[in-house]
Structure 1
């Protein structure tokens, strides 16, 4: 099938790879413009662009699809189907009507749960036990289109957003190929608006831990914000990122840092969390126990 693929980050790469392996004709790849990164602000291409260029696929990086020129450029590729995976732009009505087989989207949640930009992270932040991917027909709203297929997976109690992300991007690629193979036989299922929830973009300020909350919520915050933007505490006026924690059934004054069984431990509103992996300000990631060797605690310390 002749396909235009739209995607930007790592999440979209396995889907494009799967389409190529299946023998579909990728007429063009649409992705976000290159962005400056690092101290030198060097322009770096999105992962999907890198893959497309390796396969000599035409790449388009328009800043908008909401003008006549962009629509006509896309129309000229004559796609039978448009496949979207974490593209980062909403497709306007003029684009949705171009391919005769429609536009389908690979979304990292079990819709109608977690519509929006950060579905995987919010599933972890909320302590969900189940997540998955959905292939949907695209509509004008954000992730509101009819459902074509779903696949689900359990979330481990210590799994981070990054780890779940890696699993779901592979699951999404598999489901995408299966869906396209069965496209003519599937019956689209409208979403139940009463069950819809939203997953807005993450913000850096979300990383500040409220130690009055139960340890389970603190633990979910840490793993939900791993790898970005990372949860943190403030110790002696310096910010320390928290990468991995473990819930322990002990109680004390919320926000007090102590040492239990050789591990940095902070009491929460109920129970406590051990800081298994941390990153001091301007330092490297390390085990909390290794940090203690260079920074021994002589008594309990209040953190923020």
Structure 2
């Protein structure tokens, strides 16, 4: 199904592109609908598409073990994309991408995106910066999972999801959260009860409500803040009143000037 033009505004990477660069991608983008639990790609499988979650759609990258356990390495919403972003695409997947919150996505053949990168320096700049941010999120998650207690990891995950939804009410089940954190549900239930008793969250059926975001930020480990600061520095993230990502304003791409001097790449304001 061809992608409606207005839908490009609901993914921040596509929204950040200037009109001329969007035109390199727009004819090749297609609209796909995913439900919760659907697999975007499996570990070991070829990645033939780059997928851009739109609006409230959220995709999680998981590492699954032989004993059936799994753990989250990155959570991606409307601020990003999955599938060959760090690499050049067309390579076997090292993780499984599973839809956490269903909805619409835009996707493009990986070869089409590589061609757009070849033709446009601003496209290369934007996607290289996002790839760096995604890698930073993955690496911070690895460190957090290894070094921090489950309470801190749980709060980090909830704040990450809230950033992408812009809502205090997070439509997530305890089963899903336990799978993301790689723990048993009974153990997670005790952790959530403790966090609720502290007045940080409220646990309901099929949802977790953030009660005190500022207090959660103080109680959590430094990992969530580190990733947000990296997004700010590399992509120029703009936040809404609720703390949701609403736009990217990445710095311009430097280009060589005379006698080796580097000068900023300035985009045409009318393009």
Superposed pair shares fold, TM > 0.5? no
For the aligned pair, the TM-score class normalised by the smaller chain equals: under 0.3
Structure number with greater Rg is 1
TM-score, normalised to structure 1, is: 0.23
TM-score, normalised to structure 2, is: 0.25
Structure with the higher helix share, 1 or 2: 2
Structure with the higher strand share, 1 or 2: 1
